Amino acid sequence: MPKRKSNVLTFKSLLFQNPFGLIVAASIGAIASLAAVALLGISGWFLSAAGLAAVVGTALTFDFLTPGALVRLMAILRTAGRYGEQVFSHDHLLGLLRTLRLWVWDQRQSLPFIDLNKQTKGDLLQRLIGDLDQIIKWPLAVAMPWLYAFLGCIALATLSAFIVPSLWPWVLLYSALQLVFLPWLAHRLCSVAVFKMQALSTHRRARFMSVFGALITLTIRGNWAGYASKLKTLDLRQKALQAYIQKTSSITKYLSQCTTFALMAVTLIQVLAYKNDVLILDEGVQATWLVALLLAMLAVNELLQPLSNAFIAQGQSKVGLRRLNQIALHDHGERATVCKLGETIRFDNLIGRYQQGACQSDLKGVSAEIELTQSLRIVGKSGAGKSTLLAALAGDLPFSGSLFIDDNEVSITSNQNWYKQVAYLPQNPIIFQQSLSSNLRLGAPNATDQELIEVLNILGLGEWLESLPNGLDTLLGNQGRDVSGGQARRIALGRALLRKSGLMLLDEPFDGLDSTSIQRVCEAIENNKYRPDFLIYVSHINSPLDRNAMSLPVE
């Protein structure tokens, strides 16, 4: 059971995320909905009364101004209300999206690297983003339509109590059917299907990725067709589910309309008596008001329509919430322990490991000691665990063995205090869809443009920079300028250099660099400007750095 309840998302918490915005949107929507019912009702009454007055001869004394004004007022309220609801609910939607995204961010940001990596690499992240889009629709697609329908039913009950008192149990029954029974029925019939559909689409996507990942092998072996047909089977199951859900929704809608039809029929049966081949209106009932009531029923019927689809959104949001809550943090009381770089770093029998996946029992632990201003080059065959070792030292991966700073054992994994002192160039560097300068400044928020240009020059990106029309402000990534793998590495390396941290960890820093750039980078690292206190690196390319570096073989 979660300790911190506030961390778990529920439908209730969705409603209370931004209560003011929702209340404004809902009340405006409610006014618009009621005005729509009233508009039809009042117009009906007004016409009937006017017609009656003309026949009876009281036309001259008939007060047509008040109902006329009311009709206009309702028309204006309905339209203005709709407009207001649109504006406020969109505002609320955007606000909710923001809150939920920040919620996801907060849950994820304190996760240890290894879990984070798992989430990012699989399609969990994609799914989370999709789920968020699904969930924010809940207040608009489920909660508010139900509220309007509820208010419409109340209005109907009140009206009928005045006009045809004997009708109220029927209206009550009608409301119960429309507001509770039909939604319940649809939900019961379909909640499993909606859940299956969601699960199936995740499954289908994974299957697609997996099968298409081996497309050529499967094709040349001549059994692509078999695998493709499995993909097709999944798709057909999805189609059948969609058909089932859609049919349920249409039938619910049909039943809801039939219920309205029945209510109107019951109303007429209540007030009409069959005498001498004619249907005669009961004495106690005012025909003008009866017309208003019947028209109001038609208007409420319109209000009820969105409910027949609401169960789909309800089911989808439910699945989405459940999945989101899987990443809700339960205990997050751990404080980062203090660890400050000192004179030496020593590690004993260190093996970095990914918690899951194939275990590498054949790897031997690595031991070394490095003193202030020294550097260490990790060498070994690929697969020997060089990158894993570096990632463990960076605090990303858990490890077995121990790490000492000045003979004090410290715990560095996912430790914020450790991160602060480390500049790490990982195996797969990340470039954000931000400007070139923002990407670099992630390493040093206060760096001047001049410093950024200097680093880019060192990395041999000077010419490239000059070719960019927007210079440092050039937007990188999908939305902007695509950078090649080599450029991405160098920008990330620049980011690491700019950090000017005590400990620098570089995983293949020279990949994709020409020899002049390698020279310059090494100079920069060895000169005072970007010189770290401790340097540990992995590189299959020999460089001037090696002259002053101890070699640490990893097997």
Partner 1 sequence: MIKANAKSNKADKRSGRVLTPERLFLKDLAQPEKATYRTVNLLGILIAVGIVLQAFGLAFVFSDLVLNAVADLQMLVLAGVGFLLRISAQYFRDVLSASASRNIRFSLRQKALSHLADLGPKRHQIEEDAALSTRVYEQIDALDDFFTRYKPQAFLVAVIPCVILASVVWVSWIAFGIFMLTAPLVILFMILVGHKAAQANRKQFKVLSLLSNQFSDLNQGLAELNRLGQTTTARNRLSDSAERYQKTTMGVLRLAFLSTGTLELFASVSIAMVALYLGLGLLEQLPWSVGSSPVTLSEAFFLLLLAPEFYLPLRQLGSDYHAKQKAEAASTDLIDLFNVKADSHTAAFHKPESSLSEEANGNDQIMYPTFESDALIVMRHMGWEQAGRQRLAPFTGSIHEGERVWLKGESGIGKSSLMTILLGFEQQYEGSLKVAGGELTATNLSQWRNRLAWIPQKPEWVQGTIRQNLELGIGRCTEAALREALIQAKCWDFVLTLKYGLDSTITEAGTGLSGGQMQRLSIARALLTQADIWLLDEPCSGLDEDTAEHVLNTIDDVSHGKTMLIISHDTHPVFWADTFWTLTKEGVHAKAQIKRSYV
* Interface stretch with partner 1, choices 9-17, 155-163, 227-235, 448-456 (CB under 8 A): 227-235
Q: Are strands 534-538 and 366-371 parallel, antiparallel or unpaired?
A: unpaired
CB of 202 to partner 1, least distance (A): 10
Q: How far is the CB of 278 from partner 1 (least distance, A)?
A: 5
From residue 268 to residue 307, what is the string marking binding to partner 1 with x (rule CB under 8 A)?
x---x-----xxxx-----xx-xx--x-------------
Helix 144-163 to helix 168-176 angle (10° resolution) is 170
Q: Which of residues 394-413 bind partner 1 (CB under 8 A)?
A: 394-396
User: In this complex, which beta carbon is closest to partner 1, that of residue 373 or of residue 448?
Assistant: 448
Q: How many residues bind partner 1 (CB under 8 A)?
A: 138
CA distances from 47 to 53, 68, 287, 479 (A): 10, 10, 11, 60
Q: With binding defined as CB under 8 A, does residue 266 bind partner 1? A: no
Given phi > 0 = left and psi -120 to 50 = alpha, else beta, which region is 227? alpha
Q: Which of 147, 157, 211, 368 binds partner 1 (CB under 8 A)?
A: 211
- Give residues 238-257 in contact with partner 1 (rule: CB under 8 A): 239, 242-243, 246-247, 250-251, 253-254, 257
Q: Name the segment binding partner 1 (CB under 8 A); options: 92-100, 156-164, 312-320, 455-463.
A: 92-100
422 binds partner 1 (CB under 8 A): yes
Question: 47: which residues sit within 8 A by CB, 6+ positions away?
Answer: 291
Give me the residue label for tokens 């770290």. Answer: 532
Residue of 13, 325, 360, 413 that binds partner 1 (CB under 8 A): 360
**Would you state the structure tokens that stand for residue 167, as one six-digit string?**
């009708």
Q: Which of 6, 382, 467, 527 binds partner 1 (CB under 8 A)?
A: 382
What is the layout of strands, in order, in the sheet containing 408-409? 366-371, 344-352, 399-405, 408-409
Binders of partner 1 among 453-472, rule CB under 8 A?
none
Footprint on residues 15-54 left by partner 1 (CB under 8 A): 39-40, 43-44, 46-48, 50-54
Distance CA 108, CA 120 (A): 10
Give yes or no for residue 180 binding partner 1 (CB under 8 A): no
Q: Which is nearer to partner 1, 201 or 325 (CB)?
A: 201
* Residue 475 in contact with partner 1, rule: CB under 8 A: no
Burial of 523 (0-12, 13-18, 19+ CB in 10 A): middle
Site for partner 1 (CB under 8 A): which residue of 215, 338, 372, 468? 215
Contact letters for partner 1, residues 119-138 (x by CB under 8 A): -xxxx-xx--x---x-----
CA distance 276 to 274: 7
List Cβ neighbours of 170 (8 Å cut-off, separation of 6 or more): 160, 263, 266, 267, 270
Closest of 245, 267, 262, 251 to residue 301, by C-alpha: 262
Q: Does 68 bind partner 1 (CB under 8 A)?
A: yes
